[in-house]
A and B are shown apart, each in its own frame.
Chain A
Amino acid sequence: MYFDCHTTEQAGWTVVAVVGELDLASVPGVRSSVVAAAQTRQPPYVVLDLSGVEFIDSMGLGVVVGARKRVFALGGELRVVVATERVQRVFALSGLDTLLPLFGSLAEALVPPTGGAGDGT
């Protein structure tokens, strides 16, 4: 199974980009990357970029919900990029598409945070 997760700083956001399949086998890697990303600045502004994810199941959804809780608890903001139809469908079937801030591309997600921070510095 191909899986990769890497973190970059872009436009005032900490971007955690996930590529491959997001399931029981890969969620520990994503979770630890999110935990680290949430520590990079206070409050944390994190984008979870799932545009490279070709498969997601409930374990993957769970790690997204957990990331949102963690970032919110620290007063920050989490945005999620979901670009493929099959991943969008799983979010929609779970009802999470209406509750989480989902973006169709990384470029759309990288506009300044609603909290007023994220000025690129």
Chain B
Amino acid sequence: MGREVLLEIPARPEYLSLARQVVAAAAALEPSFRAERIDDLRVAVSEATTNAIESHLDRGSDERIVIRCNLADDRIEVEVFDRGAGFDPTTATTAPLAEAQDRLEHERGLGIPLMRVLADEAEIVSDPDGTAVRLVVYIPRSHQ
């Protein structure tokens, strides 16, 4: 049976750490989750929540960011919802995760590629009324 944790945070940078802590603590409820995968999830959640906070700040919105964390038998699923202006995930400017020298020209655009590498699944659904990011990390079958 799934176990769900729901967190709402003000769209302010100082609440980012709290979001990471709550998700990591929820993941740690499942003893077979390796510490390294929880660390990966913390980074992925930080990326999604950073984008959410910035989208609200850009819009001047004081609405809260919603983070839903669902711990199932075989995985942890984290969804981050914002009410920002949205973006097209297929055309968003992202820095390449590659060993190219021009990689050092990119100070931004690192978050989405990192999120996709760290989570087993990363899905972004966005429209002009907001964005939902869904991150999934699976529990290794041998540990179940």
Q: Which residues of A contact B (CB under 8 A)?
A: 1, 21, 23-25, 55-59, 61-63, 65-66, 68-69, 86, 89-90, 93-96, 98-100
Residues of B within 8 A of A94 (CB): 95, 97, 110, 113-114
Give the docked Cα–Cα distance between A56 and B103 (Å).
18
Interface CB pairs A-B, < 8 A, 15:
A1-B16, A1-B17, A25-B17, A55-B42, A57-B111, A58-B110, A59-B50, A59-B111, A62-B107, A69-B104, A69-B105, A86-B36, A89-B36, A90-B43, A98-B99
Assuming the contacts A65-B104, A95-B97, asked whether A23 and B110 have C-beta atoms less than 8 A apart, the reply is: no
With A1-B14, A24-B53, A57-B43 already in contact, the answer to whether A68 and B104 are too (CB < 8 A) is yes
Assembled-state Cα–Cα distance A68/B110 (Å): 16
CA distance A69 to B106 in the complex (A): 10
The distance in angstroms between the C-alpha atoms of A42 and B103, with both chains bound, is 26
Interface residues in B110-140 (C-beta closer than 8 Å to A) = 110-111, 113-114, 117-118
How many B residues are at the interface, by size bracket? 20 to 34
Q: Give chain A residues whose Cβ lies under 8 Å from the Cβ of B56.
A: none
Q: Known contacts A58-B110, A95-B103; can you find 17 more A-B pairs with CB under 8 A?
A: A1-B17, A23-B13, A24-B50, A25-B14, A55-B46, A57-B47, A57-B50, A58-B47, A65-B104, A65-B105, A65-B106, A65-B107, A69-B104, A69-B105, A95-B97, A96-B103, A98-B99
